[in-house]
Chain A
Amino acid sequence: MTYTLEYKNISKAFPGVQALDNVSFKMSGGKVTALMGENGAGKSTLLKILSGDYQPDEGKILINGEEKRFRSPHQAIKSSISIIYQERQLVNTLSVAENLFLEDLPGNRLGFINKAELRRRTQEIIDTFGLPIRPTDIVGRLSVAYQQMVEIMKAYRRDSNIIAFDEPTAPLTDKEIVILFRVIQTLKEKGKIVIYVSHRMKEIFEITDEIVVMKDGHYVKTLQTAETSEQELVRLMVGRDIGDTYANLNRNDKIGDVLLEVNNLVTDYVKDVSFKLRAGEILGFSGLVGAGRTEVMRALFGADRIISGEIKLEGEVVHFRSPRDAIGAGIALCPEDRKEQGLILGRSIRDNVSMPVLLKVKKGVFLDVGQEEELAKEAVRRYGIKTPTTEKRVGELSGGNQQKVILGRWTSDKMVTKILILDEPTKGIDVGAKAEVYQTVCDLARQGIGVIFISSELTEVLGMSDNIIIMHNGRITGTLSREEATEERVLELAMLES
């Protein structure tokens, strides 16, 4: 018999976002099914519901026609479901063998581990994969690529009937990808249900049999891989109106002088990075996750140590020893991880807006709350932040409104922001709010601010940027102008193996 897995009328909402809306589709064993869609389309949420991490608001999951409810990850594992998460779930201080057999180490009834058996069985799996690692190697000392392979072996070891891969190849090199695909092939031949989530078109067409397309939390269509093309897929994923969003933007057409010049920047994480940013320009940064985009910006902002290289601001060489220096010079950074690095969730909108200009809102030795309040109100008005008062805690706002609070912080009257760095500004924001953020960014560019726009969403970078810089493995692999840039060229440069 063949296994089947069916999502039936699944809905799931998070504060401010309808992550999944009445999603139904079916997968069966012996096939590799791709889940495709833009960021925020709901792929990860689908997986997390399958893993028991999230509970659906409505709908159910059927396995072999039987309804299953997973209240914890443990129950999902017991029902023969394994998921390879993007965030590796490994115990870094333990050996490869122990990580593979985390929950059922082979041993006797007294609880004593049979170490020889453990090593033998681990070695078997390693041999199946053909990797040059030993069962006794400590996981934390392996390279990230091998760690990822350990995570994959862990799922393989469980011999689950349903195996889902969430962006498994992001940290892998070509060599391991070949191994991974061979393993997936075996799993498929064994009749398992394999779910494969990836942004990489090449892989999708190489390994999968059918493709489930998602968009904005909706199920769009299931395609047979052999019968479709990249163009069709992209059209379905992106949909018709996204192109319009960018076309309707009121863009800046007057690009001014060079504001920022970075020459041969080297840090612990990036090598030999050089680029220029002009006033009023939106400079896109593209590349895969971990390509070093965020790290360049952190170094630029004085948050990470610079080993060598030169940064010129309006023609003058500058040395920032801390973010404070950078802010003083007119650089602002909206970090990728809004909640961890951008905002203080437990404090009010007012506190979050006035943070970098506290020293400018004083009356004598005291803080001038009146002035602060004006700043916050100005931000709320300018960006249309939906809130009854500026006293509201930022943690209680939706993602889009949180992003606006950060924008409000950096563009308040007391700031002299010349360069605005936006790292994944639309992450976790729903479609409507995205369009608002885009227009805001364009407006800022029109005021002569140089904007650096980092995004993993290709359409977004292409739609927003005047010029696009593409990074791979800590290096810049190419620069494309708005006219030259196409999805294919950007992707090609982003995956370039040096």
Chain B
Amino acid sequence: METLKKYFKSNTFTLTILLILIVAFFWAASPGRSYLSLINVTNILNSMVLFTLFAIGEALLIISGSVDLSPGYIGTASGALMTAVLANTGLPWFVALLLGLALGCVFGLINALLVNELGFQAFIATLTVGSFVAKGFAYILVDGKVIPIKNRVIVWIGTGRLFGIVPFTVILSLLLILIYGIILAKTVFGRTIYLCGGNSQAARLAGLNPRRLSYILFANSGVLGALAGILYDARLKSGNLDGTNNYAFPAVTAVILGGVSFGGGTGNMFGCFLGLLIINSFNNGLTVMGVTPYWQSVASGVLLLLALTLDYLANRRTKRIKVRRTVEA
């Protein structure tokens, strides 16, 4: 009973309602009610995969009080590295895959280095590393061309379906968000993220290590970004110049929409999952209705502003409650 009450008051409840409204609207408006057909639902989940990977990394970082704008570009670079290795060397597929992931890790560590050792603001450091260094690196790796991927395993990873229906990547992304959700909610490490995000100075003086956490989370975000980039290339069966460049930003939107607030310390994975569902079912709805894809970029910006506003209103509400309570006390 208590938990139910809590749920009704929480941000996740609002998000659920929002999701239901969006789904209901598009379901009613879509030609032939095709919106909720099995194929289209799979489509939504499928389009969500890459965003999910980015969102996991972003959620952890934003809860810890930071942000990363580079993973999209890192993904492109890692995908490019993998394809280049597959095309130009005789190395087996898993070595290429691991190299791609390692590259993501390295970029993540560079981000952390700039932020922690040289005192850059996270957004400017990651934007530079992403949109200049990683982006340029990707161009150099594929030499401005599109390189096809012929390796069967990699292609299966990108496009294979389990039991002939559910894409492997969907399972992978759902599994990852579940695992990270559990880590965040149930483990010491997860708690550390919240505590450092709430007040890193106090956390340090209480024996936690915010600096090490920052390195881990940036590296994690880089690796997840790399994985997303690799899956992207594997799906398209080719190494690509622009790859996942534009994926990280909508992921940040989803995370904020899901109730993680800038400044750190609050939010959870379930909220992020709902945020992802909302954005993707919204975008998919637009496509089903035949709206040009260019509107989706506009929509993602508007949604982010909306998310920020919701966050602002929620903060103001709790602040008011707090003031009233303390006056009573």
Chain A residues with CB under 8 Å of chain B are 15-16, 301, 303, 322-324, 327-328, 333, 335, 340-347, 351, 355-356, 358-359, 362, 365-367, 395-396, 398, 409
Contacts and interface: CB of A to CB of B under 8 A. Distances in A.
Interface in B184-204: 186-188, 190-192, 194-195, 198-199, 201-204
A340 B199 CA distance: 7
Interface of B: 186-188, 190-192, 194-195, 198-199, 201-209, 265-266, 322, 325-327, 329
Contact of A362 (B188, B190, B194): B188
Contacts of B327: 15
Contacts of A340: 199, 201-202
B195 A351 contact: yes
Given A346-B266, A356-B208, A367-B187, 18 more contacts: A16-B329, A301-B205, A303-B205, A323-B207, A324-B209, A333-B205, A341-B201, A342-B202, A344-B202, A344-B203, A346-B198, A355-B195, A358-B192, A358-B208, A359-B188, A366-B186, A396-B325, A396-B326
A342 B201 CA distance: 8
Nearest to A365: B187
B265 A344 contact: yes
Contact of B191 (A15, A342, A367): A367
Contacts of B209: 322, 324
Contacts of A333: 205
Contacts of B199: 340-341, 343-346
Contact of A344 (B186, B188, B198): B198
Nearest to B325: A396
- Pairs A-B, 6 closest by C-beta atoms: A15-B326, A344-B198, A327-B207, A355-B206, A356-B207, A324-B207
Contacts, number: 82
A351 B191 contact: yes
A347 B196 CA distance: 11
A66 B36 CA distance: 72
B19 to A, nearest CB: 26
Given A15-B326, A346-B266, A359-B188, A323 B195 contact: no
B204 A347 contact: no
13 contacts: A15-B329, A323-B205, A324-B208, A341-B202, A343-B202, A345-B198, A346-B265, A358-B208, A365-B187, A367-B190, A395-B322, A396-B325, A396-B326
Contacts of A322: 204, 209
Of the candidates A340, A344, A396, the one having the most CB atoms from chain B within 10 angstroms of its own CB is A344
Contacts of B322: 395-396
A297 to B, nearest CB: 11
A451 to B, nearest CB: 18
A344 B266 CA distance: 12
Nearest to B188: A358
Contacts of A15: 326-327, 329
Nearest to B194: A347
Nearest to B323: A15
B265 A358 contact: no
Nearest to B211: A322
A369 B208 CA distance: 19
Contacts of A359: 188
Given A340-B199, A344-B199, A366-B186, A356 B206 contact: yes
Of the candidates B199, B201, B202, B327, the one having the most CB atoms from chain A within 10 angstroms of its own CB is B202
Contacts of A358: 188, 191-192, 208
Contacts of A409: 206
A123 B326 CA distance: 50
Contacts of A356: 206-208
Contact of B186 (A16, A346, A367): A367
A335 B205 contact: yes
A346 B326 CA distance: 15
A468 B329 CA distance: 37
A351 B201 CA distance: 15
Of the candidates B191, B204, B325, the one having the most CB atoms from chain A within 10 angstroms of its own CB is B191
B206 A323 contact: yes
Contacts of A303: 204-205
B211 to A, nearest CB: 9
Contacts of B190: 367
A333 B201 CA distance: 13
A358 B186 CA distance: 12
Given A303-B204, A322-B204, A396-B322, A367 B265 contact: no
B207 A344 contact: no
A344 to B, nearest CB: 4
Given A323-B206, A362-B188, A398-B329, A347 B198 contact: yes
